[in-house]
Copies of this chain bind each other. A is one copy, B any other.
Amino acid sequence: MPPSEFELIARYFTGHDRGDGVLLGVGDDAALLAPLAPGEALAVTVDTLVAGVHFDPACDPAALGHKLLAVNLSDLAAMGAEPLWATLALTLPTADAAWLEAFSGGLAALAADHGVALVGGDTTRGPLTLTLQAAGRVPADRALRRAGARPGDGIYVTGTLGDAALALRDPPDLDRVERAALRQRLERPTPRVAAGRALRGLASAAIDLSDGLAADLGHVLDASGVGATVTLADLPLTPALARLAAAGDWQLPLAGGDDYELCFTVPAAREATLAAAALAVAATRIGTVEAASGLRLRAPDGTPYRLARAGYDHFGAAP
């Protein structure tokens, strides 16, 4: 007889539920979490990964566990929040002990890196679907929102853009080392948690890049009621992406998706402070917020650049 649901949960998803403010973890009707300090707000986000849509069902389950938590921590980072707790809803076609061990191990390792307690969950049978909700704390008046960008603010991104999308495209001209580095960016993104916290009181708006720079920066501009010009020559690119860009292909850094970098705006008066801030990752100025609505892209030759497709949309027109 295969192990029961309760045995599965007990075996793989308990023991990771200790942490700051956890009064009661896995194993009751609900977890009990201690209140925050006065003035702090709870930041809450949820993301789902679906087999065959967001990942190959045959992919490394440890990387999948890492990524599921990473994409949620990236959302918390974009609010400037410190991660605290997560819950996991796991729908599985079969109870595969080796898969569960690797998956929970990948998730638990990243959780431990960030002090995140896995406080609850639900395991069900069905098509492989993973939903994680993460919560963190942030001083309520210093949370980084999408609304807040003002004309004149500098626009920045952390890290480099388009790497995960190029790993998915997997062109034949990549050498072994380059391919491995790009796959790491796709499969094990690093949530920019320290950068998000360092940007409290510094950034005027922030978002994490999951659907591509053009679409996600577009959300910031819409929420803030402003526009922007982005200078393509200033986009931070790894060599493989730079080669594509030199050939005129800017699709991946602008609309590739799955970057999990932060995009944020900083008032001119605070840009010097930003340069000295400890973000734990490079931040690159890529453009300027403007009063006129819309996102304008300037090609290296100075002409306007038109993007074929803005970003990933689960239910929109086919790619």
Interface residues, chain A, with chain B CB atoms under 8 Å away: 1-6, 8, 23-24, 27-54, 75-76, 78-79, 81, 85, 87-89, 91-92, 94-95, 119-127, 129, 131, 133, 135-136, 138, 140, 143, 145-146, 206-208, 223, 313-317
When the two chains form their complex, are residues B140 and A23 in contact, meaning their CB atoms are under 8 A apart?
Answer: yes
Nearest B-chain residue to A42, judged by Cβ: B33
New A-B contacts (20) at CB < 8 Å, excluding given A33-B41, A47-B122:
A1-B316, A5-B313, A23-B41, A28-B146, A28-B223, A29-B76, A29-B146, A34-B42, A35-B38, A35-B39, A36-B36, A44-B119, A46-B121, A50-B125, A50-B126, A53-B125, A122-B131, A125-B315, A127-B129, A133-B133
When the two chains form their complex, are residues A30 and B125 in contact, meaning their CB atoms are under 8 A apart?
Answer: no
Q: In the docked arrangement, what's the CA distance between A38 and B135, Å?
A: 19
Q: In the docked arrangement, what's the CA distance between A317 and B79, Å?
A: 45
Q: Give chain B nearest CB distance to A140 CB in angstroms.
A: 6
Q: In the docked arrangement, what's the CA distance between A94 and B316, Å?
A: 10
Q: Provided the pairs A27-B223, A125-B53, A208-B29 are in contact, do residues A89 and B4 lie with their beta carbons within 8 angstroms? A: no
When the two chains form their complex, are residues A78 and B29 in contact, meaning their CB atoms are under 8 A apart?
Answer: yes
When the two chains form their complex, are residues B1 and A46 in contact, meaning their CB atoms are under 8 A apart?
Answer: no
A143's partner among B3, B24, B46, B92 (CB-CB below 8 A) is B24
Q: Give chain B nearest CB distance to A220 CB in angstroms.
A: 10
Q: Provided the pairs A24-B145, A48-B131 are in contact, do residues A79 and B124 lie with their beta carbons within 8 angstroms? A: no
The 5 closest A-B pairs by CB, nearest first: A50-B126, A127-B127, A29-B78, A30-B45, A30-B43
What would 10 A/B residue contacts be, using CB atoms closer than 8 Å?
A: A3-B315, A24-B143, A27-B223, A33-B44, A45-B120, A46-B120, A46-B133, A48-B131, A53-B126, A95-B315
Q: In the docked arrangement, what's the CA distance between A87 and B135, Å?
A: 12
When the two chains form their complex, are residues B32 and A314 in contact, meaning their CB atoms are under 8 A apart?
Answer: no
Nearest B-chain residue to A206, judged by Cβ: B29
Nearest B-chain residue to A205, judged by Cβ: B28
When the two chains form their complex, are residues B28 and A35 in contact, meaning their CB atoms are under 8 A apart?
Answer: no
A5's partner among B28, B54, B129, B315 (CB-CB below 8 A) is B315
Nearest B-chain residue to A88, judged by Cβ: B46
Q: In the docked arrangement, what's the CA distance between A85 and B44, Å?
A: 10
Nearest B-chain residue to A33, judged by Cβ: B42
When the two chains form their complex, are residues A31 and B2 in contact, meaning their CB atoms are under 8 A apart?
Answer: no
Nearest B-chain residue to A41, judged by Cβ: B32
When the two chains form their complex, are residues B91 and A129 in contact, meaning their CB atoms are under 8 A apart?
Answer: yes
Q: In the docked arrangement, what's the CA distance between A145 and B133, Å?
A: 23
Q: Which residues of the partner chain B approach A207 to less than 8 Å between Cβ atoms?
A: 29
Q: Which residues of the partner chain B approach A223 to less than 8 Å between Cβ atoms?
A: 27-28
Q: Which residues of the partner chain B approach A92 to less than 8 Å between Cβ atoms?
A: 315
Q: Give chain B nearest CB distance to A128 CB in angstroms.
A: 9
Q: Which residues of the partner chain B approach A6 to less than 8 Å between Cβ atoms?
A: 313
Q: Give chain B nearest CB distance to A148 CB in angstroms.
A: 10
